[in-house]
Amino acid sequence: MKVPTPDFRLRQVRADHVHRRLAELYPETPVPLDHRDPYTLLVAVLLSAQCTDKRVNLVTPHLWARADTPEKMAKVPVAEIQRIIRPCGLSPQKAKAIAGLSNLLVEKHGGEVPRTFEELEALPGVGHKTASVVMAQAFGVPAFPVDTHIHRLAQRWKLTSGRNVVQTEADLKKLFPREHWNALHLRIIFYGREHCTAHSCDGTTCEICRTLFPARKRAVKTRK
């Protein structure tokens, strides 16, 4: 009996294929940023802005050696934090944010990382994406953090209009089961880094792009 060809003209059919194929390619979803607990994850995610996870993982051991809790970090001068994290870029802003959020965690949250989006996003340097990563990876709360890889691939696969990351997040949440958001957002990141990068694929080259759009001839221009 011949298996019917999926109708990839339909957005949900494309999403279902992406879901299945990424689960096959990446059955395990390790967190890319090395961390010990919710606090060290929070700081690592903050450092990863406009910086590779690989570089963050090289820098954070030096930072943790100096201070690995909010109580300890609150006592470290901002200038010293900045010196340690300089390789991650944007060190003046990131150092101030790390010092500021560490102080607030001590003063308002008993030295613990809060478990709500609202409280996390109220911390210095913590936006919605950072809060989403912490909620998903530290506390297991379903979230769909949208980084540059996810924003780009979702557009190439026509899973979103790509107007902005807020729209992309909303569109992806509608297409994929809530219980798979945490693993799936990591799988898309892994695939984006390995196969569908900004340089190696323009929407016509990688396996998933070719499968979903076999007749596509022109490069896809994605919105940032």
pLDDT, tens digit, 9 for 90 and up, residues 102-134: 999 999 999 999 999 999 999 999 999 999 999
Q: What is the pLDDT of residues 165-203, one digit of tens each?
A: 999 999 999 999 999 999 999 999 999 999 999 899 999
Residues 111, 168 within the same domain:
no
Residues 112, 164 within the same domain:
no
Residues 118, 151 within the same domain:
no
Which one is catalytic: 16, 72, 147, 158?
A: 147
CA-nearest of 60, 62, 64, 74 to 111 is: 74
Which one is catalytic: 68, 94, 129, 202?
A: 129
**Domain extent for 203:** 11-29+144-212
Residue 219 lies in a domain: no
Mean pLDDT of 75-91: 98
Residues 21, 43 within the same domain:
no
CA distance 210 to 194: 16
Q: What is the pTM of this model?
A: 0.93
Residues 54, 133 within the same domain:
yes
CA distance 175 to 18: 11
Residue 220 lies in a domain: no
Residues 163, 205 within the same domain:
yes
Give the residue carrying structure tokens 């958001």. Answer: 181
Domain boundary among 82, 102, 137: 137
Residue 224 lies in a domain: no
SS3 content of the chain, % helix, strand, coil (to 5): 60, 0, 40
Catalytic site includes residue 34: no
Residues 92, 167 within the same domain:
no
Mean pLDDT of 207-221: 95
CATH at 110: 1.10.340.30
CA distance 216 to 203: 8
Number of domains observed in the structure of the chain: 2
- Structure token digits, residue 24: 């096959």
Identify the band that residue 162 occupies on the pLDDT scale cut at 50, 70 and 90.
confident
Domain boundary among 137, 159, 182: 137
Length of the chain in residues, anyone? 224
Catalytic site includes residue 75: no
Residue 5 lies in a domain: no
Residues 18, 44 within the same domain:
no
CA distance 100 to 208: 43
Mean pLDDT of 66-94: 98
